Amino acid sequence: MRRMLRLFLPLTIVAASLVTAMVAAPSDSGLHVPLAVADATAMMQKTAVIATLLAVWMFAAIALTLLSGREIRYSSIEMRASALHCFALGLVAVTSFALTAIVFSYLIPYGVGVPLLFALGVFAILTKIYGTIAVFHAIGMLVAGSRTREQLARRNWLRGDLAMVVIGVIVLGAIRLIPIVGPIIWALASVFGIGTALATKFGRREPWFLAWKPSLS
């Protein structure tokens, strides 16, 4: 199992390259010539956009982990401890964001819609960024995390939250480059991330709502 996980990163990169090459290559002709120059250019541009966004994600992940590594770690642990709850919460939250955005757009002519829509947009973007970075940490821990104390002591580089987040960005980024499958997996990771961010209140592990109890006098 551990060997499989260790091989996961190179295998993912090889699989991404193979599938990309298969999609780029024409299916009807035997030669590896793109169908048209425009198709090849479009594909190259798409890959360049993904790689650039990946670099931006890398810097965002490093910055957020340096600022609040403990919170990211708590969220990552929560995601692995109760994955189904995080996924369900993420799905409901994404649906709620969409419906609420439509309702706020409906309210734009009445004057209150614009600030509400702006606040919802900022909250949704922050939730997605934080949650996706927590997913990076969880994936990094799954792929390259230490299992024993001896293993941890032996390692110089592959230890710590920052390394796990960076490994997660690389693995999920490599998967993202796979056509068709990549965007789906990335979207699922976003749903997981949004759910985790909300379930742990951005790693603070505080309740969202205070429970009211009548005082016994």
Partner 1 sequence: MTQDACQRYLEDPEANGAHLVVCAKCRAEAAALAAKANVKPLSMDVNALPLAPWEGSSHRPWPLVLTLSVIVVAIALALCDAAGMSPLHVAEGSLASMEAIRGLLNSAASSLRQAPIGFQVAFGVAFLIVNALLIVLLRRAPRGIDA
Cα–Cα distance for residue pair 64/72, rounded to 1 Å: 8
Q: Which of residues 116-145 bind partner 1 (CB under 8 A)?
A: 117
16 lies in the site for partner 1, by CB under 8 A: no
Q: Residue for token digits 């490093």?
A: 62
Is residue 160 a contact residue for partner 1 (CB under 8 A)? Answer: yes
What is the nearest approach in angstroms of partner 1 to the Cβ of residue 151?
8
The single-letter code of the amino acid at 127 is T
Q: How far is the CB of 155 from partner 1 (least distance, A)?
A: 8
Structure tokens at 26: 């024409």
Q: Where would I find the H helices in 36-160?
A: 37-67, 69-81, 83-106, 113-144, 149-154
Q: Contact 11/5 with Cβ under 8 angstroms?
A: no
Q: Distance between CA atoms of 184 and 169, rounded to whole angstroms?
A: 16
* Angle subtended at Cα 210 by Cα 207 and Cα 211, rounded to the nearest 5 degrees: 115
Residue number with CB closer to partner 1 (210 or 216): 210
Q: Answer yes or no whether residue 205 interacts with partner 1 by CB under 8 A.
A: yes
Could you tell me the CA-to-CA distances from 191 to 48, 55, 89, 91, 187 in Å, in that order?
24, 21, 8, 6, 6
Phi and psi based region of residue 111 (left: phi greater than 0; alpha: psi -120 to 50; beta: remaining): left
Residue 69 or 188 with smaller CB distance to partner 1: 69
Residue of 21, 36, 108, 119 interacting with partner 1 (CB under 8 A):
108
Interface residue with partner 1, options 1, 27, 32, 156 (CB under 8 A): 156
- Residue 170 in the binding site for partner 1 (CB under 8 A): yes
Q: Of 18-26, 28-36, 154-162, 184-192, which segment contacts partner 1 by CB under 8 A?
A: 154-162
**Residue 146 within binding range of partner 1, rule CB under 8 A:** yes
Nearer to partner 1, 5 or 44 (CB): 44
Q: Residues in the site for partner 1, rule: CB under 8 A? A: 41, 44-45, 47-49, 51-55, 58-59, 62, 66, 69-70, 73-74, 77-78, 81-82, 85, 88-89, 92-93, 95-96, 99-103, 105-106, 108, 117, 146-150, 152, 156-163, 166, 169-170, 173, 198-200, 205, 207-209
